[in-house]
A and B are shown apart, each in its own frame.
Chain A
Amino acid sequence: MKDTPESRVIDPGLDETIKKLTPEHIERVVQHVLTKENAARLKVYIDTCVHCGLCAEACHTYLSRDCDPDYSPVGKVKNTLWELIKRKGKVDGEFVKMMSRVAFTECAVCRRCSMYCPFGIDIAYLLMIVRRICSLLGVVPQYLQDTTNSHAVTSNQMWVHQDEWIDTLQWQEEEAMSEVKDARIPLEKEGAEVMYSVIAPEPKILAQLLGNMAQIMKVAGIDWTMPATDGWDNSNMAMYSGDFEVMGRVERLHWETAARLKAKKIVMGECGHAFRGAVYDGPRWLGWKFPPIPMVHAIEFYYDILKSGRIKVKEKFKEPVTVQDPCNTVRGRGLGPKLRYVVNELCENFIDVNPRFEHNYCCMAGGGTINCGPPWKRSRMVSNRVKAEQFKATGAHIVITPCHNCHSGIEDVIGFYKLGMHVKFISEIMVEVMDVPDELKP
């Protein structure tokens, strides 16, 4: 195995956990995952791939690392899954550690490579199989595993206690009402049109976003509610750590909470991976082909309330802005045009990125990579030089990031590459520029 700065990163989630592994246990888990959990789809992909390497140019880690073939999608699969298959799972702990590092910290499962594969192979799915094996072996980066543990206990990703959740909403309601009259956060309101769900960083470290939404909902005249029970967090890092049982548990509670409250739809905050977990991976693991209750991402929601005139803009945001297309909502759902409509409605000077829409580069924070924590931050930054170059070329001052992982990841990129830019969520700009009718002014 190559000696690289990445291979020397100290992470107890990898270094300590492999000490307990036995060859028999590794082989048993590998065989179980390869033959019991993934047989048909995996076989089709493995049999179809002609090893052409056209996926390489798609990957921001490959491009950012001077086209190192080990960082190409096919290289990552070759070094991990193909070896597992070839050796029939007869690998040692050091190999598991290497494949855990590759699968969790060097691939953001962003699926850009699938678009460049002549056969459309979902290469990220192959890396997710590696993650699943690592999860069952207990070899997962410490901070990502801790996030999954939080999901398992609390159903949210940041160990937010139930009292902290409700208390934060009540505090933010007070804050919102100081800006917009009667901007309540109606808790546990049965039969509301919308259940609004968010991810745990909002109550934990970005509480003002909850207050922002109370203002927006009031001005837009939306009949909405938020749960005062677990089930309010739509995020799902268990999906990315490979703990699908915990993933399913989190998603079930999210949907059952909406059903309990008799909400007609869920509107979710600005997060991309949460959209994937709630709309695709989670429901499917549980047995639904589609989300059981309509799920509307914040980008679509903002589009609707601007397009319909429910929110009017008083004066557009003046600073030059660009945008990050989150992989799971733009490549995964096609919300790129709606995102640009929203940005253009709110901002005077929008400079688009290149490449964009579904061809946009990943932030290299999604897919659970940022949740792998501080030990892997430098690696993430080195793996996303192209993202820094892409933003720098726009000359914008602000990067609008309608996704929490993008928001944090791009903030890191801006700092690491000294771009002198700032990141903002859409809601932060919307509350700044929206027209609050006189009767709603406090």
Chain B
Amino acid sequence: MPDASNWDWAVEKKTVADLKQLRDKFKGVHEFVVSPDGEKIAAPVVTEENSFTAAINSDTWPEMVELLWYLRFLPDGRLTALVRIDDQWTLMVDGVPWNERFEYAWDPRPCASGSAIGMMIKRDFKYGIAIDDKVWEEGFDGIRDYALSPDGSRAAATVQVAPLAEADIFAFSEGVWSIAVDGKAWDKKYLNTWKPIFSADGSKVAAEIRTDICEYSISVDGNDWNDRFGCVWEPLFRPQNGSVIAPVRKDGFWRLAENGKTIWDGKYNQLWQVKFSPDGSRIAVIASPEYGRWTIAVDNAPWKRIWEDMVLEPHFSPDGKRVAAIVKEVNRWTIAVDGNPWGEQFDMIWDPVFSPCGKHIIAKAERNGRFMIVADGKPVGPQYDALWDPIFSADGTKILLKYIENDKYCRQVVSASDVLG
């Protein structure tokens, strides 16, 4: 989460950049991104000579590169991009490339604290992870996914630990996949591993494992749960005590298990995307209590209201008392709060943003190609050409809006009471 305490919450409206000037200046301007505090807007730009760089407000990074993409702001405001220089890839941070170069590099992600950034890399036909310009010593035959510890000091990845000849189904069934933590693979090998995740203190790693054709389970630091299941989904560490929760499929129904033991024995047709409340005492999860019907289950109690199209991940309020989720019915999107959908629907809607007190929810929404803020279910204020997620100030009295209108990028602080009514 970005630290918003030092942001400018006094200026009401500021035009940060004239985007027409930017478009006139360059041969190509790709997708825009904005900094968390709204003070900067950036985009990959292409020069007449077909070189790339990043434009930030009215400036550009000085170095031109062969290709630049995946431009993203970190929570602390630093700007990063994947760049190709002399036919090699690396990460550029605020215009300065890492020293390390790679045959390929992709999927850079900040850790939860925002202090470090990692990515997957390929070098000399081996795959691994790099964090803050430091590369794992050992490379692997393949890599598919990774996770950073909350402080960014460690990484875990699904890795292929032995070569696999073409169509060698027998070696595959013996297991050539594992989890590597800080470049060292677990001793055990599996048919598959997926979705590694660190505990809150960064000391443990859990992941989905597959041990036979239809035998799935969870492993924590290479110690597998005793039971095998018909399927499992991504595990999650309980914040307070480090135990591991995961949806598991048994006898054709989904349940929640903790450290291998069933804790929700309700017979769900589907369960996925487990989320804990901030204090870790409550669990919310996307659930299908019966075929074709979707909702959110909180502490093993499904909301009464169901949707047939789609329900997305649950979000707890800061105090953990309320749960909101994006829902869709008849291809129209809205947000449901504690089981009650907002009255208005939209062509698209973004994640719910709780006020610090948890009483209010705002979100970005789209209707007929125009973007707007929706507060507690009602569209408020003007509509924009583009809009980013709104952010509450720490005390909840103000809201930061970041938007594009008439080719101008603006940052605006508004009174929360004006928005919330």
Which A residues lie at the B interface, using CB under 8 A? 12-13, 16, 36-37, 135-136, 138, 142-143, 145-146, 149, 152-154, 161-163, 166-167, 170, 182, 184, 186-189, 191, 228-230, 243, 245, 248-249, 252, 255, 259, 262, 264, 286-290, 292-294, 373
Contacts and interface: CB of A to CB of B under 8 A. Distances in A.
Contacts of B251: 36
Given A161-B142, A292-B328, A166 B213 contact: no
Contacts of A288: 292, 294, 308, 310
B69 interface: yes
B132 interface: no
A225 B149 CA distance: 30
B344 interface: no
Given A143-B167, A288-B292, A252 B107 contact: no
Q: Which one of A37, A136, A243, A249 has the highest number of Cβ atoms from chain B below 10 Å of its Cβ?
A: A249
Contacts of A230: 144-145
Contact of B230 (A188, A245, A255): A245
Q: Name the 3 nearest CB pairs between A and B, nearest first.
A: A163-B104, A289-B292, A292-B310
B169 A149 contact: yes
B213 A135 contact: yes
Interface string B3-33: 0000000000000000000000000101100
B191 A248 contact: no
Contacts of A167: 104
B308 A188 contact: no
Contacts of B350: 262
B70 A228 contact: yes
Contacts of B40: none
Contacts of B192: 152-153
Interface stretch (B170-178, B355-363, B395-403): B170-178
A189 B350 CA distance: 14
A380 B269 CA distance: 38
B106 A228 contact: yes
A163 B292 CA distance: 36
A228 B172 contact: no
Contacts of B214: 136, 243, 245
B169 A145 contact: yes
Interface of B: 28, 30-31, 67, 69-70, 103-104, 106-107, 120, 122, 127, 142-145, 160, 166-170, 172-173, 177, 191-192, 210, 213-214, 216, 230-231, 251-252, 269-270, 272, 288, 291-292, 294, 308-310, 312, 328, 331, 347-348, 350, 366
21 contacts: A36-B251, A37-B252, A135-B213, A138-B213, A142-B167, A149-B172, A149-B191, A153-B142, A161-B142, A163-B104, A163-B106, A163-B120, A166-B104, A188-B70, A243-B214, A249-B231, A288-B292, A288-B294, A289-B292, A290-B309, A292-B309
A438 B107 CA distance: 37
Given A153-B192, A264-B348, A287-B294, A170 B67 contact: yes
B308 A289 contact: yes
B270 A229 contact: no
Given A142-B167, A149-B169, A228-B107, A187 B122 contact: no
A287 B252 contact: no
Contacts of A259: 310, 312
A292 B270 CA distance: 14
Given A153-B144, A162-B106, A245-B216, A264 B347 contact: yes
A191 B177 contact: no
A293 B294 CA distance: 14
B297 to A, nearest CB: 13
A139 B338 CA distance: 48
A227 B107 CA distance: 11
A182 B107 contact: no
Contacts of A13: 169
Nearest to B82: A166
Contacts of B107: 162, 228-229
Nearest to B120: A162
B213 A287 contact: no
A99 to B, nearest CB: 17
B347 A287 contact: no
Contact of B292 (A136, A161, A287, A294): A287
Given A145-B169, A289-B292, A187 B69 contact: yes
A293 B30 CA distance: 26
Q: Which one of A154, A163, A252, A262 has the highest number of Cβ atoms from chain B below 10 Å of its Cβ?
A: A163
Contacts of A248: 231
A182 B142 CA distance: 34
Contacts of B120: 162-163
A135 to B, nearest CB: 7
Nearest to A148: B169
A412 B416 CA distance: 66
Nearest to B287: A287
Given A228-B107, A289-B308, A294 B331 contact: yes
B169 A146 contact: yes
A432 to B, nearest CB: 26
A191 B69 contact: no
Q: Which one of A245, A259, A290 has the highest number of Cβ atoms from chain B below 10 Å of its Cβ?
A: A245
A289 B347 CA distance: 21
Given A163-B106, A229-B107, A243 B213 contact: yes
Q: Which one of A153, A188, A249, A252 has the highest number of Cβ atoms from chain B below 10 Å of its Cβ?
A: A153
